[in-house]
Structure 1
Amino acid sequence: MMRELKWSASEKKIARRAYEAALESALAGILAEFKAKAAAAAAPAEMWAMEHYLRERRREIDELFDYRYSQLPLVLARLISEGYLEEAQLAGLAEDKLEIVRTHLAYMRE
């Protein structure tokens, strides 16, 4: 199944570009939210709430962004599902990989 997928050099570049764009988008959102929260912080206790916020976002990012080729089609589907990526950004991937992405995306949208 997915462990048996073979990735060409061009597919690896396409996948990496899409992955990096999605990661940049996710991190930009977290940074904007962090800045807003930090600007609104008025009490010392709110600093520790910021630490907790960042720790949780880091955990979410580490969980979501998994670049192992054996997991990549699932990750790409989830990134599309969560709005960090558009399927069009995967143009050029082989149909076997796109089919896995689409199947998992359809399942996520149910």
Structure 2
Amino acid sequence: MHDIKWSPSEKKVARRAYEAALAVALAKILAEFKAKAAQVATPSEMWDLEEYLRRKRKHIDTLFDYRYSQLTFVFAAAIREGYLDESSLAGLPEEKLEPIRRLLRWAEG
């Protein structure tokens, strides 16, 4: 999976899907943050919220790795976490989609 070559058109599809998934992930975290922030009533809860954001940022930074060698894993994880639908990858050839599907099946199993 690490030596897969990406054509210019595949790179465009991948970039659009990546950006869309990242936007969904960030919007979800922002909504959760706002809801949690509205409930903060003590300094301790405020620091808990900071820790929540730190964990979420680390997760996003780890998940959304835009190296072509990692996109198979990124897309599989984004689909699994509900940030991306496989239809967003339309335009990628089967040789790119099958490893993503394999990872999804493996994660379910």
How far apart, CA to CA, are the structure 2 residues paired with 1:101 and 1:49?
35
Q: Following the alignment from structure 1 to structure 2, what is the Cα–Cα distance between the partners of residues 51 and 12?
A: 35
In structure 1, what is the equivalent of residue 104 of structure 2? 105
Moved over 3 A (4+): none
Cα deviations by residue, 1:18-48 (Å, 9 ceiling, x for unpaired): 1111111111111111111111111122211
What corresponds to 2:72 in structure 1?
A: 73
How many residue pairs match? The answer is: 109
TM-score, structure 1 normalization: 0.94
Are 1:63 and 2:71 matched, yes or no?
no
Does residue 22 of structure 2 align to residue 23 of structure 1? yes
Q: Which amino acid aligns with 1:101?
A: I
What CA distance in whole angstroms lies between the structure 2 residues aligned with 1:50 and 1:4?
A: 40
List alignment gaps of at least 5 residues for structure 1: none
| 1:63 alignment partner, SS class | helix
Provide structure 2 residue ranges, at least 5 long, that are not aligned to the other structure.
none
> Percent of counterpart pairs with the same letter?
63
